[in-house]
Amino acid sequence: MALLLVATLVLALYVTGLTHNPPGFFIDEAGISYNAYLIAKSGANETGVHWPLMCQLYYGSHIQYASPTQIYLLAGVFSLLNPSTRLARLVSSVSVFSAAVLLGVLARRVSGKRMVGLTVALIAVITPWLFEVSRLVIETFLFPLFLVLFLLAVHTAHTRTLWRPVDSVKIAASLTLLTYSYSSGRILAPLLALGLLLFATNRRRLAGALLTIVLYALSLIPLVVFGRDHPGALTKRFYEVSYIQPSTPLSEVPAKFLSRYLHELNVWQWLIEGDPNPRHHVPGSLGSFLVGALVLSLMGIVVVLIKHRRDRWWLFVVFGLAISILPGAISIDQFHTLRLIALPIFLLVITIPAITWLLDGWRTQERNEISAFEGSRHANHRKRRIALISVVVLAALQAAYFQWVFHREGPKRRDYFDVAYQEIFDQAIVFPNRPIYLIDGSGQPSYVEALWYATEKRMEQTEFVRVDRDFALPSGAMVLSRDRPCSQCTVLLTNEPYVFYVVK
């Protein structure tokens, strides 16, 4: 009953206050949600492409390509329920919460102990890194779930004497979902697939690993075809956020990469400062990862190196932990929690051997050892349990502090979630004149927010018309824009940086 109460309280933290913390609805969130609604309604996104592999979103003067899994999941939900900001964020929150719970299931299977599973699940659901990602309707919200499903499938195959074809199918399917869910997945999934060769301890296991890799490779054919038909679409975003450019000499890359990789290992950033982008992390709430959890992660690495260094499962987990930093290490941004979203998952998985050891000890002594050593062994066992309780309590205290700051400061992030646009939109639609012309500022496609809010309110899309800044507006046109109005216009509403005016 107590566990059920705790689970209910934590779930309530994930699913309450979704419309005001974060406040507003950022452009990326609006773009993904609006296109999901269009696909649910007609099968086509806003550019008119039916059932797109990669969804095209307008972003300023160019098109941004969004991964499809989140959009199609939301499209399925919106086909059953009325689209809304609350519903979109609820889907995100439940997805990440499910990933945290399934981490506990994985820990239970790996350790064979229920208490280990419960401890890992508890630490996972209170980890700020995962909690904050769960509040954003962006491309990352399904990635933790798919990664945990992948690890569950790999562990299941690892425990079998014979790697069955169904195991290969499950692992390949989860790798496919990782690839099609986020740009970081297109870096990590192929490397994780190659890492499966660590399990090839005999010919049969080698055949199973190779079959998995082949099945995964076949799933990439649509992506290859898409890249051929849309040159540069899959690499454009990479070149925008990375120091690796087509013109960059290869000789300069290794040194820069090593420097960036080591910088991403800055635990002070993980534990104390967090992501510097307030959209991703509430300032002043300490870091994105818990000190207590990191202590267990470091202990887990030590236990693996001492006790499990020949266990292929744990070698694979250490490999996954090492490569999870790669998406951040090739980026120009410092500690970007979204691109590093695989890192907290592997850090939490590596806590399993530490928690198991703290609960049960090394068990190097035989059951029939002489009684003279029994008292010492049990005393040592108690000390380890006390140490585990202390570390978990430390994590819980930090998580409680984070939640206090998050609920106090989180709703204040107005500028980072375009609250001003939502407010002026709600005021503008009170005026009866239609259509309302939407003019974007440079690099800020605010029009999609208007179309999303109109969708929420079940307004007709024909009531809004997106036009360029040099469009010849007719007399009497009502305009919602980031640009200052012309000299022949009358301002009706302002909410910086937005203005609503009528053309004379």
- 392-441 pLDDT, tens digit per residue, is 999 999 999 999 999 999 999 999 999 999 999 999 999 998 999 998 87
Mean pLDDT of 432-461: 88
On the question of pLDDT at 5 being above 80, the answer is no
- 384 with 465, same domain: the answer is no
On the question of pLDDT at 59 being above 70, the answer is no
On the question of pLDDT at 372 being above 50, the answer is no
Place of tokens 């002489």: 370
Predicted pLDDT at 375: 55
- 151 with 225, same domain: the answer is yes
Q: How far apart are CA 176 and CA 185, in angstroms?
A: 9
- 251 with 382, same domain: the answer is yes
Mean pLDDT of 463-491: 86
One-letter amino acid for residue 316 of the chain: F
- 172 with 218, same domain: the answer is yes
**Exposed, middle or buried, 88 (CB in 10 Å: 0-12/13-18/19+)?**
buried
Q: How far apart are CA 357 and CA 246, in angstroms?
A: 48
On the question of pLDDT at 151 being above 60, the answer is yes
Rg (CA), the chain: 25
- 213 with 348, same domain: the answer is yes
**Exposed, middle or buried, 91 (CB in 10 Å: 0-12/13-18/19+)?**
buried
Percent of the chain with pLDDT over 70: 93
- 407 with 425, same domain: the answer is no
On the question of pLDDT at 369 being above 50, the answer is no
Mean pLDDT of 346-371: 74
Write out the two tokens for 407.
Answer: 């609920």
Indicate the residue among 412, 437, 460 that finishes a domain.
412
- Packing angle of the helix pair 203-219, 165-179 (nearest 10 deg): 40
On the question of pLDDT at 63 being above 90, the answer is no
What is the SS3 assignment for 134?
coil
Q: How confident is the model at residue 41 (pLDDT cuts 50, 70, 90)?
A: very high
Predicted pLDDT at 364: 44
Contact call for residues 440 and 452 (beta carbons, < 8 A): no
On the question of pLDDT at 448 being above 80, the answer is yes
Domain that holds residue 429: 418-503
Task: Please calculate the CA angle 348-350-352 and round it to the nearest 5 degrees.
Answer: 85
Q: How far apart are CA 73 and CA 6, in angstroms?
A: 28
On the question of pLDDT at 211 being above 50, the answer is yes
Predicted pLDDT at 440: 83
Chain Cα centroid distance, residue 34: 19
What does pTM read for this prediction? 0.93
Mean pLDDT of 248-257: 85
Q: Who wins on pLDDT, 88 or 51?
A: 88
Predicted pLDDT at 226: 86
pLDDT tens digit string along 214-224?
A: 999 999 999 88
- 388 with 427, same domain: the answer is no
Question: How many domains would you assign to the chain?
Answer: 2
- 371 with 470, same domain: the answer is no
pLDDT tens digit string along 164-206?
A: 999 999 999 999 999 999 989 999 999 999 999 999 988 889 9
Indicate the residue among 387, 412, 437 that finishes a domain.
412
- 344 with 316, same domain: the answer is yes
On the question of pLDDT at 332 being above 80, the answer is yes
DSSP state of 136: -
- 399 with 434, same domain: the answer is no
435 preceded by a cis bond (ω within 30 of 0): yes
On the question of pLDDT at 365 being above 50, the answer is no
Q: How far apart are CA 281 and CA 133, in angstroms?
A: 9
- 403 with 350, same domain: the answer is yes
- 370 with 422, same domain: the answer is no
- Counting other chains too, the contacts that 384-389 makes at CB distance below 8 Å and 24 or more residues apart are 384/357, 384/358, 384/359, 385/358, 385/359, 387/358, 388/119, 388/355, 388/358, 388/359
Predicted pLDDT at 216: 97
On the question of pLDDT at 362 being above 50, the answer is no
What is the SS3 assignment for 317?
helix
